[in-house]
A and B are shown apart, each in its own frame.
Chain A
């Protein structure tokens, strides 16, 4: 039976493959340019800002939860040849 090893670097590389989340805040930054001398765009409609903020807060919370879960992840030796099983 083949031995499959998943090292920390592999895990990091796999996580880096995850495509960027589709976040309204990032889209708004692309769509609305900041006025000269400003860092943030001021012309974004308020409802869009509220929606984007709530989405970002939820996203941040999920990311923190995921980071905590990964930090507590225990090494699990497996003998299966299917690498995805370990994930």
Chain B
């Protein structure tokens, strides 16, 4: 009996027994059912990629397995798997290969780097934020790094608190509040608050490949992009609208002055109950925060800011 004949004979025997028939079907159609949990992601990236498909992308898994067991080129299987990953993620790194999958679900941190972790100065790294930082009373040293960011952060948080307490979503005020929060890593979204260098050098964001984690990361990444888009709209607003620029300048100066006499915590509490464009006096503190009206988004010249 030749080897092919032996194989055919064994194959026939296997299908005659329920247990071996099932084992043969699994080995043929779902080999990662057995190997999935045992795959060493560093030793065999292809099997690891297939195990991710098995657990997370059931629409691609059959095609990838068929290509794998029928000996298709690895490049073809890799293209299939990476296309599936791209299709299911809010953020996908085009340069990613199956060799990189062990780092977990890819994310795009977009937080502001205040600590110069990238090696660049703040002025170089975040050029667009420099005018806002200066507007809020910020100063830079001779190397282009902020010197009083702690003070400016307090001013920004007090102002954003006031905006969030008084204006709803979908207003330019909300965008400006988001910009102020995002600038100072205080949005509450990990990807919007941490810089790329911080996350990857400190290894603080490893998201394993599971359907739940994919959903979680997608939601967080989507929100981070929304935050970033709102911040960009606010940057544009501050640049284009003299009303907004003047309001921010006035409010930042006034809060900066208040911070020399009162604590940050007291001012923060007070902003929550202060209506916009109205004066409020409590605990010996006099606050008058002014913002342009809702229709002033990007329309210079309709300022309500007090002199």
Residues of A within 8 A of B (CB): 20-21, 23, 25-26, 28-30, 33-34, 36-40, 42, 46, 49-50, 52-54, 56-57, 60
Contact = CB atoms under 8 A, between A and B. Distances in A.
26 contacts: A23-B22, A25-B28, A29-B25, A29-B28, A33-B8, A34-B8, A37-B4, A37-B7, A39-B7, A39-B11, A40-B28, A40-B69, A46-B63, A49-B29, A49-B66, A50-B62, A52-B25, A53-B29, A53-B62, A54-B62, A56-B29, A56-B30, A56-B33, A57-B58, A57-B61, A60-B26
Nearest to B5: A36
B148 interface: no
Given A50-B62, A54-B62, A57-B33, A33 B4 contact: no
Given A29-B28, A36-B4, 20 more contacts: A20-B18, A23-B25, A25-B29, A26-B15, A26-B21, A29-B14, A36-B5, A37-B3, A39-B7, A40-B69, A40-B70, A52-B25, A53-B62, A54-B58, A54-B61, A54-B62, A56-B29, A57-B30, A60-B26, A60-B33
B228 interface: no
A50 B58 CA distance: 10
B173 interface: no
Interface in B1-57: 3-5, 7-8, 11, 14-15, 18, 21-22, 24-30, 33, 54
A36 B7 CA distance: 8
A53 B65 contact: yes
B72 to A, nearest CB: 12
A19 to B, nearest CB: 8
B30 A34 contact: no
Interface residues of B, number: 28
Nearest to B37: A64
A57 B63 CA distance: 13
B25 A56 contact: yes
Nearest to A53: B62
A40 B10 CA distance: 12
B30 A53 contact: yes
Nearest 7 A-B pairs (CB), nearest first?
A25-B25, A53-B62, A36-B4, A20-B18, A50-B62, A60-B33, A53-B29
A7 B29 CA distance: 36
A12 B69 CA distance: 34
Contacts of B58: 54, 57
A36 B8 CA distance: 7
Contacts of A30: 15, 21
A61 to B, nearest CB: 9
Contacts of B27: 39
Given A53-B62, A56-B25, A34 B11 contact: yes
A77 B63 CA distance: 49
Contacts of B5: 36
B25 A26 contact: yes
Contacts of A20: 18, 21-22
Nearest to B63: A50
A11 B11 CA distance: 31
A42 B66 CA distance: 9
A38 B28 CA distance: 11
A23 B4 CA distance: 26
